[in-house]
Amino acid sequence: DAGVIQSPRHEVTEMGQEVTLRCKPISGHNSLFWYRQTMMRGLELLIYFNNNVPIDDSGMPEDRFSAKMPNASFSTLKIQPSEPRDSAVYFCASSPDRADVLGQYFGPGTRLTVT
């Protein structure tokens, strides 16, 4: 199994531009999570999908952030317009059904830099 796949691995963009991060969960996993990691705030949950349906999006910072999961094998996190304070590493993670069944597996992350 290839594990959770994220693209791009690195993204550098200018303030105001739209950014789209992509994630392919492990095949057969029903839950997908987007996290943001910074030195100041640690690992923050942004949004959680189960069976392609958003379950908890209370961590999405503001309306500039949106996430979709059109099917079981693909999700996107979009930031429009981007701001320098959005610079962080964004992780996608998936789990078989619930995160407490067999743990949660992280992708390699996307390092976003907004100048």
**Pick 37 or 81: Cβ nearer other proteins:** 37
The CB-of-33 to other proteins minimum distance in angstroms stands at 6
Instruction: State how far the Cα of 42 lies from the Cα of 25, in Å rounded to an integer.
Output: 22
Contact 57, 77 (CB under 8 A): no
If the CB atoms of residues 38 and 80 are measured against other proteins, the closer one turns out to be: 38
**Shortest separation between residue 62's beta carbon and other proteins, angstroms:** 19
Q: In the bound complex, what is the minimum distance in angstroms from residue 80's beta carbon to other proteins?
A: 24
Positions in the binding site for other proteins (CB under 8 A)? 33, 42-43, 45, 48, 50, 55-56, 58, 91, 98-100, 103-109
Torsion (CA) 68, 69, 73, 77 in degrees, nearest 10: 20
Q: Which is nearer to other proteins, 81 or 105 (CB)?
A: 105
Write out the DSSP string of 87-112: -EEEEEEEESSSHHHH--EE---EEE
Contact indicator for 59, 79 with CB cutoff of 8 Å: no
Closer Cβ to other proteins, 68 or 81, answer by number: 68
